[in-house]
């Protein structure tokens, strides 16, 4: 290969792969692509999920109560889809079959064993509201407080 090109400094791999990047540049590009995908992957997935949830149609019957107060209802639920931080409460109530809430013990809607509770049945055959006080315990029951909760369409 060196005799053909008349250059003693050309690497044989580069000659064999005319127009291809040297192996170190190719490896760096792959690593950069993997790092970029790892960084943008969760964000891109969250963006797609938010766009999908933004098109959900809530009815006038759909209501979310947090700590005894109305948090969001009907069309306003579309603006509240996603994770919300809270100072801590044990009381949640969901009315309607088009919305549900998942209460989390951890912040940022992180899951933690059995301390994730869904409120809302997503059953349009029932008109009853689903009301829960978050509690746990083996021998004696105690109330636990959610640090975050997630609103999503059914």
Task: Count CB neighbours of 62 within 10 A.
Answer: 25
Share of the chain above pLDDT 70, in %: 64
Secondary structure (3-state) at 148: strand
Which residues, in sequence order, are bridge partners of residue 116?
Answer: 104
Q: In this predicted model, what pLDDT tens digit does every residue of 8-40 receive, in sequence order?
A: 454 444 444 444 444 454 455 455 544 544 554
Q: Model pTM?
A: 0.62
Across 77-95, average pLDDT: 94
Residue 79 tokens, joined: 């603006």
Instruction: Tell me how far apart the alpha carbons of residues 31 and 26 are, in angstroms, rounded to a whole number.
Output: 9
Mean pLDDT of the residues in the chain: 76
Provide the pLDDT for residue 80: 96
């Amino acid at each position: 290969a060196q005799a053909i090109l008349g250059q003693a400094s050309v690497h044989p791999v580069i000659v064999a792969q005319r127009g291809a990047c040297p192996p170190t540049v190719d490896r760096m590009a792959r690593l950069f692509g993997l790092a970029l995908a790892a960084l943008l992957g969760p964000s891109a997935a969250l963006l797609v999920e938010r766009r999908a949830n933004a098109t959900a149609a809530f009815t006038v019957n759909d209501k979310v109560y947090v700590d005894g107060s109305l948090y969001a209802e009907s069309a306003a639920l579309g603006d509240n889809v996603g994770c919300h931080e809270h100072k801590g409460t044990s009381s949640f109530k969901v009315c309607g079959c088009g919305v549900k809430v998942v209460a989390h013990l951890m912040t940022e809607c992180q899951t933690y064993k059995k301390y994730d509770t869904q409120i809302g049945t997503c059953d349009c055959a029932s008109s009853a509201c689903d009301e829960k006080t978050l509690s746990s315990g083996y021998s004696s029951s105690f109330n636990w407080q959610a640090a975050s909760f997630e609103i999503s369409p059914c």
